[in-house]
Structure 1
């Protein structure tokens, strides 16, 4: 089986695709999936370097999100409605491989109108952004949200979810090319380059001086984003992709 196998802590760019990786063995509540497409998340990069909280023993296959078909030889656990050949997307350690095992509850039927490439990036990023905006911030139609790192996976999902809710979206990123992604894939109302000094003033201009109702931050820019948040606004700490774990002082 082909797989990107981690034998030592290293950046994924240093990994080689091997052709002799062992086929994973499913446990009682797991299915085998033939992987047609897999996503690369930021935490995969951290895990490969030994910097993530989940540390599988060496050697292990990298990756967590996938889309594909339930393998013909896959066992079907009790209570599982999936069948061999079904199109699925989901989550399972080792998805950057020809086959992956996954808890059957962590695999869902892939709608016919979605490609495998589209399905591979759904299971982790979209629920993360949805729970943050809807479950925690309780974002409402008519409010304004600032999405940092808006050209990344959770950022694009956050922009699209916020737009679907009816919010005004200010997408922030660190380069013109990334801001173009925010417009094309997320239909952001406004964009701002946070690599430029004083970018918060531009956000305040967009909001008529009020500031944003919600800050969505997966990168580690909460402290500087608080300079353009509204009174009684909500700040969502999603992650620290920059590597800087901030400490917000009262």
Structure 2
């Protein structure tokens, strides 16, 4: 089969289309004919050599796909049929014509969503639901600060937090993106992090109290500022390291606020844990998708053979929402 591989760590130019073996189908897995695959920041980190796949996972990039079921492992009992349109959360292997994935990480395509657009959903929905609600325990009426509000994860986080009754503050890097956060996605406050002090704006917005939850993809660069922006009993959830992995923090400030700093990843979690997350996505996120209450924003699509161009565009930071590869 055809798949996109990275011959060695580097920029987008290291990605190329190659012939690779068809994935072996495990007893608890389903085989999917891929129709589209989402590009995520983790794919970029893997391409650069800083985020290898977990043991046993495919070394082909790609953590989410849409497609049709092409086969079943001997132990699969989920109510699917051959040809069903599905979405899947992966540990790797998505930039390919076929992928094998544990059945618990596969969900039916939500009603009203076309199958290409559906590839924009699995990774971001699972990441946001598991971290904002299962880990941070975001509650109605609380204030959440979401960094990178117009990226694929940010777009989902802003909307799910609003749907849950939270007050949403989000950051972005241009006035156009800031305007979109407020006027289109419904953020209560949007901040241009290039020209504004987000800690000051958060404190002004909350009457000096700070944010109850901070959802951060930046990491080290924002650690001290994020702790400063937390409210009493606040929860800072770090899911990305775009701004580095090592930083100092004033533990006195953290202790005085009785706050928590939580670091999480999704990719390396056991299949059983991912299955529970996907069950939560089906129960709590899919209804919002199907009734039109959650906007799915696909910025651009590229053919699989143009994965290098797609990564170059993704790396530019110009996109709003998701960038997809199509087969």
Assess same fold via TM > 0.5. yes
Partner residue, 1:214: 213
C-alpha RMSD of the superposition: 2.3
Whole-angstrom distance in 2 between the partners of 1:153 and 1:229: 24
* Number of equivalences: 246
The more displaced of 217-226 and 48-57 is 48-57
Instruction: Provide the rounded CA distance (Å) in 2 between the counterparts of 1:15 and 1:202.
Output: 41
Contact map agreement 2:8 2:14 (CA 8 A) in 1 = no
- 1:58-207 to 2 correspondences below 5 Å: 60-71=59-70, 74-78=71-75, 79-92=77-90, 93-183=92-182, 186-196=185-195, 198-207=197-206
Q: Which runs of 5+ in 1 are unaligned?
A: none
Change (3 A) 1:197 1:181: closer
What 5-or-longer segments of structure 2 have no aligned partner? 252-327
Q: Distance in 2 between matches of 1:176 and 1:244?
A: 28
Give the helix-richer structure, 1 or 2.
2
CA distance in 2, matches of 1:109, 1:204: 42
Task: Tell me which of the two structures has the higher relative contact order, counting C-alpha pairs closer than 8 angstroms and 6 or more residues apart.
Answer: 2
Aligned to 1:233: 234
Structure 2 equivalent of residue 17 of structure 1? 17
Counterpart CA distance in 2 for 1:247 and 1:116 is 44
TM-score, length basis structure 2: 0.68
Q: Secondary structure at the match of 2:81?
A: coil
Structure 1 contact 126–157 (Cα < 8 Å) conserved? yes
| TM-score, length of structure 1 as denominator length | 0.87
Q: Hey, what does 1:44 align to over in structure 2?
A: 43
- Residue range with higher mean Cα deviation, 84-93 or 217-226: 217-226
**2:32 aligned with 1:33:** yes
What's the CA shift string for 1:38-75, capped at 9, x where partnerless?
10111111112221142679x9422121011012xx23
Contact 2:53 2:59 in 1 (8 A): no
Structure 2: distance between partners of 1:150 and 1:210 = 21
Taking the aligned partners of 1:173 and 1:122, their CA distance within structure 2 comes to 21
1:197 to partner: Cα distance: 5.2
